[in-house]
Amino acid sequence: MTEQRRFNRAGLILNPVFQYLEEEDRYLSRRNRPKYRFNLIGAGIIGQEHIRVTLLEGRATIHGVYDPNPRSIIAAQREAQKYDPDLNLVIYDSLDAVCNDPAVDGLIVCTPNSTHIDVIHTVAAAGKHILLEKPIATTVQDAFTIMQLAMQHRAVFQVGLQYRFKPQYSEALYEILERKTIGQVKTIGMAEHRMPFLDKVGQWNKFADYSGDTLVEKCCHYFDLINRIAQNRPKTVYAVGSAAVNFADFEREGRRSDILDNGMVIITYENGVTANFNLCMFAPMFYEELVVCGDLGRIKTTEHEDFLPHNRPVTQMEIATVDDRPSRMTQPMYPALIQHSGHQGGTYVEHVEFVDQIAGKPSRAASAEEGFWAIVVGAAAQASIATGAPIVINDYLEQMGLML
Ligand SMILES: NC(=O)c1ccc[n+]([C@@H]2O[C@H](COP(=O)([O-])OP(=O)(O)OC[C@H]3O[C@@H](n4cnc5c(N)ncnc54)[C@H](O)[C@@H]3O)[C@@H](O)[C@H]2O)c1
């Protein structure tokens, strides 16, 4: 069996029911020898998700971890052994050591946003395959530097914008871009309504200089999706937003939280597509909505978890088309083990794409260039909120000395 991840074998491998079998009696439930080894830099909430999905996907393993926080190391080891009880992670004591272990093929960077720009130089110098978490940086200038570094990198350089692999977005992108189900895209609407930012090591996500602020930190995912659907570069960005409710009394080391908790962003594209994005981070739920209208129809997707006692499907998609094409209502989803492994299975598929790219196959995963443009929209929206004026993207980049 060459492709370990096929036929949902992870469920069979992990199922304790088969533990009574001798190794030689295992076929479908046998754990294959992983072909690739990855090291993890930063083992917080998403680092642990990367451990989980690497081991579930099965063609690679996690070799070791570097993280200055001992509790993150303990959590990483615990997570790894849930999926491979024999796995003992190597614990590195420096960034140099984690990057330059010859046993390792790839590096997954999951440190706080503001550290990416420093960490990535050592990571890239090691010449291994890279999966860098979003947002690639906290400022447009640093994102530009990282994009250039990625262009010169001789191995895979993938960015952790994995929302495109959540089942509802994966299906919507396929319908819009491949099947052209709704014809030519004209308008894109996107919304996220959710709980406040969760706790982090050092609470870096409560401060704009550590996170890049909310529209860069969190919403780069949505701007990436919108950019991808528009299939074009943003021309203008106008936004309003504020810190209306959350973290009003939050203070750490004498500093008050200074991040946005809501925003409305309007984007125009060079090709005439228009888009809006609406964020509210003080809603008692996790809700995402995408509505795309083309000249032949409309696609709407939702992801909805609200903690109420009903059984509404979490991920849904509606396609309404003109009368000679069938309309549909569906519930896109992955097998439960994958769907529940994080981000509705999006991170798992991101790893399928990462390993495929390493194996030289074509990929739908986000590049550093796409990571850069997602940050441009978020940062321009924040600049628009600060000044009250619309931002013309070409002028905005030119003022920073960036010619693209
Ligand atoms: N793609 C996604 O959906 C997604 C989801 C969550 C977080 N993220 C991104 O992943 C990154 C980490 O976020 P998180 O939520 O896991 O944060 P976290 O605070 O839970 O974990 C960050 C970890 O990095 C460690 N760390 C800090 N500086 C380090 C350094 N210089 N070298 C090595 N380790 C270091 C911390 O000790 C901590 O364990 C951020 O860039 C964040 O934006 C992406």
Answer positive or negative: Cα dihedral of 49, 52, 57, 62: positive
Our mutation pick for probing the ligand 1 site, out of 46, 99, 286, counting the most ligand atoms within 8 A of Cβ, is 46
Centroid of ligand 1 to alpha carbon of 133 (angstroms):
8
Centroid of ligand 1 to alpha carbon of 61 (angstroms):
20
Distance CA 237, CA 11 (A): 45
Our mutation pick for probing the ligand 1 site, out of 77, 131, 133, 223, counting the most ligand atoms within 8 A of Cβ, is 133
Which atom of ligand 1 is nearest to 48's Cα? 16
Centroid of ligand 1 to alpha carbon of 344 (angstroms):
19
Domain positions in the chain: 6-161, 164-336+366-399
383 half-sphere exposure, CB direction, 13 A CA radius: 19
Q: Which amino acid is at 47?
A: G
- Residue with CA at minimum distance from ligand 1 atom 17: 44
pLDDT at 10: 84
The angle formed by the CA atoms of residues 181, 184 and 188, to the nearest 5 degrees, is: 90
pLDDT at residue 384 tops 70: yes
Answer positive or negative: Cα dihedral of 150, 154, 160, 166: positive
Our mutation pick for probing the ligand 1 site, out of 45, 96, 115, 350, counting the most ligand atoms within 8 A of Cβ, is 45
Q: 153-189: per-residue pLDDT in tens? A: 999 999 999 999 999 999 999 999 999 999 999 999 9
Centroid of ligand 1 to alpha carbon of 109 (angstroms):
8
Answer positive or negative: Cα dihedral of 192, 196, 197, 199: negative
The angle formed by the CA atoms of residues 11, 14 and 18, to the nearest 5 degrees, is: 100
pLDDT at 363: 93
3-state secondary structure of 173: helix
Q: 106-115: per-residue pLDDT in tens? A: 999 999 999 9
Residues with CB under 6 A from ligand 1: 41-47, 66-69, 72, 110-113, 115, 119, 133-134, 160, 162, 200-201, 217, 343
Centroid of ligand 1 to alpha carbon of 177 (angstroms):
32
Mean pLDDT of the chain: 96
Fold of 6-161: Rossmann fold (3.40.50)
- Residue with CA at minimum distance from ligand 1 atom 30: 111
Higher pLDDT, 351 or 12: 351
Contact present, 200 and 45 (Cβ < 8 Å): yes
Centroid of ligand 1 to alpha carbon of 243 (angstroms):
23
Q: Which ranges of 105-191 does DSSP label H, i.e. alpha helix?
A: 116-125, 140-152, 167-173
Q: How confident is the model at residue 128 (pLDDT cuts 50, 70, 90)?
A: very high
Distance CA 7, CA 18 (A): 17
Distance CA 317, CA 273 (A): 22
Our mutation pick for probing the ligand 1 site, out of 201, 215, 219, 221, counting the most ligand atoms within 8 A of Cβ, is 201
The DSSP H or E segment spanning 225 is helix 220-230
Centroid of ligand 1 to alpha carbon of 41 (angstroms):
9
What is the 3-class SS of 230-287, one letter each residue?
HCCCEEEEEEEEECCCCCCCCEECCEECCCCCEEEEEEEECCCCEEEEEEECCCCCEE
Q: 212-262: per-residue pLDDT in tens? A: 999 999 999 999 999 999 999 999 999 999 999 999 999 999 999 999 999
- In the sheet where 262-269 sits, what is the strand order? 328-330, 315-321, 297-305, 286-294, 185-194, 274-280, 262-269, 234-242, 391-392
Task: Tell me which of 3.30.2310.20, 2.40.110.10, 1.10.357.10, 3.30.360.10 is the CATH number of domain 164-336+366-399.
Answer: 3.30.360.10
- The structure tokens listed for 332 are 């896109």
Our mutation pick for probing the ligand 1 site, out of 39, 49, 66, 67, counting the most ligand atoms within 8 A of Cβ, is 67
pLDDT at 2: 53
pLDDT at 323: 83
Centroid of ligand 1 to alpha carbon of 398 (angstroms):
31
Distance CA 308, CA 112 (A): 32
Distance CA 279, CA 162 (A): 19
Single out the residue of 132, 180, 152 nearest to residue 322, CA to CA.
Answer: 180
Q: 32-69: per-residue pLDDT in tens? A: 889 999 999 999 999 999 999 999 999 999 999 999 99
Residue 373: CB partners within 8 Å, gap ≥ 6?
223, 224, 227, 233, 234
Scored b (16 or more CB within 10 A) or e, 87-101 reads bebbbbeebeebbbb
**Mean pLDDT value across residues 280-309:** 96
Distance CA 49, CA 379 (A): 27
The DSSP H or E segment spanning 187 is strand 185-194
Q: What is the CB neighbour count within 10 angstroms for residue 322?
A: 12
Distance CA 119, CA 78 (A): 25
Which atom of ligand 1 is nearest to 69's Cα? 37
CA 263 to chain centroid, in Å, comes to 20
